[in-house]
Amino acid sequence: MGSGNLTSPVEDFTAVAPFEIRAGAEQRVPFVFNSPHSGRHYPDRFLAMTKLDRSSIRRSEDCYVDELFGAAIMLGAPMLAANFPRAYLDVNREPWELDPRMFIEPVPPYCNIRSARVAGGLGTVPRLVGEGLDIYAARLPIAEAFQRIELIYKPYHEALKRLIAGTHARFGYAVLIDCHSMPASVRTSDQGMRPDFIIGDRFGTSASAMLTQEAISLLSSMGYSVAYNKPYAGGFITEHYGRPVRNLHALQIEVNRGLYMNERTFQKSVGFDPLAQDLARFAADLMAVPDHHFLDLPEAAE
């Protein structure tokens, strides 16, 4: 369908909130979990804009990742979870990574139009899903992108910022676990290994090296194959919020979808529950490691 008679993004999340914070009565640990790509509420207005069917549009969705890591909430950590789909808006990007080929009007000069993510069709408002499938049947008004960013992207990051800042203030440090999934076809460059997990810390810049190593060791001890920063080192969220010198640590965890779902039907497989149980144990064990073992805490604040 064309975009000439479209209404506003304001209408897209009236029945369902665009995102939610899931938490117990009290935060008991200095961890925050984030699931920015598992949203599965596809607004009718958005579906009318896309040339894809209801199955194809889900190709970029990190299906059920919020559920896989759900035990973190019972362990005392809050989770910020998107309900909006990644194909609609990607909050793991800079706020203005926009592809000028997508819009009727010129994009403002402050937009980052030359990032590798924009070139790959995966900007803040994505152009593609899955293996290069175009989302839209026609160019969009630039106001469409602006409103999604103002109404959803910015409030999402404000909520995440508040969770991290509150955790830091209460515990003296904060650990953000950014939860994602990857296609089963993903291979590393190291002899074509198909990893079960990829731990990303922006090449050592977003988290304490000891925290990263603990995460890798815990998953490896459960029998999983774990890659480090290849081919995913972490996106905007990991890079933006990870500041180890300020006791703010961010790790990205990618889970192989082949472990827990059928990628063609989007149905959970028999592996889902065992994996969720392992991730509950992983989260509990990571939370139980004494802070001085894996956090680069300064001796005294200046």
Query: Per-residue pLDDT tens for 38-84?
Result: 999 999 999 999 999 999 999 999 999 999 999 999 999 999 999 99
Each as own residue / partner, the long-range contacts of residues 162-167 (CB below 8 Å, 24 or more positions apart, any chain) are 163/21, 163/32, 163/78, 163/80, 164/32, 164/241, 164/248, 166/27, 167/27, 167/30, 167/31, 167/32
Q: What is the pLDDT of residue 293?
A: 55
Q: What is the pLDDT of residue 8?
A: 82
For the residues 176-201, what does the mean pLDDT come to?
90
For the residues 177-194, what does the mean pLDDT come to?
87
Average pLDDT over the chain, rounded to an integer: 93
Q: Which amino acid is at 20?
A: E
Q: What is the pLDDT of residue 130?
A: 82
For the residues 84-100, what does the mean pLDDT come to?
98
Percentage with pLDDT > 90 across the chain:
89
Query: Is-contact 186 245, C-beta < 8 A?
Result: no
Task: Tell me the residue ranges of DSSP E strands in the chain.
Answer: 19-22, 31-35, 79-82, 128-129, 133-134, 174-182, 197-200, 226-228, 248-256, 261-262, 267-268
For residue 78 the two structure tokens come to 């809050």
Query: Is-contact 194 226, C-beta < 8 A?
Result: no
Percentage with pLDDT > 70 across the chain:
93
* pLDDT tens per residue, range 117-160: 999 999 999 999 987 899 999 999 999 999 999 999 999 999 99
| Residue whose structure tokens are 């802070």 | 291
Domains of the chain in sequence order: 12-50+61-85+142-288 (3.40.630.40)
pTM: 0.94
Residue 292's contacts (CB-CB under 8 Å, 6 or more residues apart) are: none
Given a cut of 50, whether residue 302 has pLDDT beyond it is: no
Q: Compute the distance between CA of residue 43 and CA of residue 88 in angstroms, rounded to an integer.
A: 9
The answer, yes or no, to whether the previous bond of 231 is cis (omega within 30 of 0) is yes
Q: What is the pLDDT of residue 3?
A: 40
Count how many Cα atoms sit within 13 Å of the Cα of residue 265 in the half-sphere of its side chain: 6
CA torsion sign for 20, 26, 71, 171 is positive
Beta bridge partners of 251: 177
Q: How far is CA 174 from the centre of its chain?
A: 18
Q: Which residue has the higher pLDDT, 130 or 266?
A: 266
For the chain, where are the alpha helices, taking DSSP H only? 44-49, 65-68, 71-74, 116-119, 142-148, 154-171, 209-221, 236-241, 272-288, 291-294
Q: Which residue has the higher pLDDT, 291 or 58?
A: 58
For residue 89 the two structure tokens come to 């808006």
* pLDDT tens per residue, range 20-32: 999 999 999 999 9
Confidence bin at 252 (pLDDT 50/70/90) = very high
Q: State the DSSP code for 126.
A: -
Given a cut of 70, whether residue 292 has pLDDT beyond it is: no
Beta bridge partners of 28: none
